[in-house]
Amino acid sequence: MKNVLLIATLAASASAFAFTQDFNDITTLGAAGWSTSNQSNPVGTIGWFQGNDTVFTSQAGAANAYIGANFNNTTGAGTISNWLVTPEVALVNGSTLSFWTRKATSNFADRLQVRMSTAGSSTNTGAGITGIGDFTNVLLDINPTYLSTANGGYPDVWTQFTVNVSGLGAPTTGRFAFRYFVENGGPSGANSDYIGLDTVSYEAVPEPATLLVLGGLAAVAARRKRK
């Protein structure tokens, strides 16, 4: 019965199955279901920000149409843990999340994690630099050993990454999070410079129409069972 209710709930909102965010204006992200949390230590002067086209231009769209994070997420030499959380989506095995990212052309190493929560609408990322909250599933860790770009580290040209949802026992809902996570970062640190994130797209499978059919069939079955 719980699975029937879940399928019907997911099918009720097709927007939960797919989205594309191009970051034309990040002041609209909150209304679209996105959230941010800068848990760096110490907390810096800025969190995620509208792209700066004097550093580099966007992957697509207007020159500044991307979202950025940088070494000023912390102060001195600190640990950066700056979160960008997506809207709640339907999570189904085989679904894909894709995005484009790059760093500035410098020798300072950058790092980005992609994490997933299966806790429905929760945006809980814990507290402090070690907190991860409900985002316990690491789907991707770009440059965890802090290599330079020349040695295979974070790309300094726009590069697309794709991650797949897998291992779920049943369809559910949750969120993804991008975590700009850099140890020994900041203005005085050995790591961290400037990264951009653009054209984030999510597509769940099966398609919404398929789940609508499944939801309808499940509802019919439930009614028959009660008779």
Q: What is the CATH number of the domain that holds 41?
A: 2.60.120.200
If one compares 175 and 13, the residue with the highest pLDDT of the two is 175
Q: Look at residues 80, 31, 67, 30 and name the one whose alpha carbon lies nearest to residue 189.
A: 80
Does the structure show a pLDDT above 90 at 207?
no
Residues 6+ apart with CB under 8 A from 14: 208
Q: Rounded distance, CA 130 to CA 44, Å?
A: 16
Task: Give the tens place of pLDDT for each residue, 113-122.
Answer: 999 999 999 9
Backbone region of residue 109 per phi and psi (left: phi > 0; alpha: psi in -120 to 50; beta: other values):
beta
pLDDT for 80: 99
- The answer to whether position 221 is within a domain reads no
pLDDT for 150: 86
Least-confidence region, from 1-10, 72-81, 113-122, 183-192: 1-10
pLDDT for 185: 99
- The answer to whether position 122 is within a domain reads yes
Task: Find out whether 112 and 182 touch, Cβ atoms under 8 Å.
Answer: no
Q: Rounded distance, CA 201 to CA 198, Å?
A: 9
Does the structure show a pLDDT above 90 at 4?
no
The model's pTM = 0.87
- The answer to whether position 89 is within a domain reads yes
Question: The tokens of 57 are what?
Answer: 């231009």
pLDDT for 27: 98
Burial string for 193-208 (b: 16+ CB within 10 Å, else e) reads: bbbbbbbbbbbbbeeb
Does the structure show a pLDDT above 80 at 6?
no
Task: Give the tens place of pLDDT for each residue, 151-163.
Answer: 999 999 999 999 9
Which residues lie across from 181 on neighbouring strands?
81
pLDDT for 210: 47
- The answer to whether position 18 is within a domain reads yes
Residues 6+ apart with CB under 8 A from 86: 19, 21, 33, 34, 175, 176, 177, 200, 202
Question: The tokens of 60 are what?
Answer: 């697509």
pLDDT for 225: 43
Task: Find out whether 182 and 79 touch, Cβ atoms under 8 Å.
Answer: yes
Which residues lie across from 178 on neighbouring strands?
84, 114
- The answer to whether position 99 is within a domain reads yes
Task: Give the tens place of pLDDT for each residue, 61-76.
Answer: 999 999 999 999 999 9
If one compares 106 and 42, the residue with the highest pLDDT of the two is 42
Q: Rounded distance, CA 57 to CA 97, Å?
A: 22
Task: Find out whether 193 and 93 touch, Cβ atoms under 8 Å.
Answer: no
Number of domains in the chain: 1
Q: Between helices 2-11 and 208-226, what is the axis angle to 10°?
A: 140
Band the pLDDT of 205: cuts 50, 70, 90.
Answer: confident
Q: Rounded distance, CA 69 to CA 55, Å?
A: 12
- The answer to whether position 222 is within a domain reads no
Band the pLDDT of 211: cuts 50, 70, 90.
Answer: low
- The answer to whether position 224 is within a domain reads no
Question: The tokens of 101 are what?
Answer: 């990212």
Sign of the Cα pseudo-torsion (157, 112, 148, 145, in order)? negative
Task: Give the tens place of pLDDT for each residue, 124-182.
Answer: 999 999 999 999 999 999 999 999 998 999 999 999 999 999 999 999 999 999 999 99
- The answer to whether position 129 is within a domain reads yes
Does the structure show a pLDDT above 90 at 223?
no
If one compares 58 and 12, the residue with the highest pLDDT of the two is 58
Question: The tokens of 25 are what?
Answer: 């204006």
If one compares 225 and 42, the residue with the highest pLDDT of the two is 42
Show the domain range for 149: 2-213
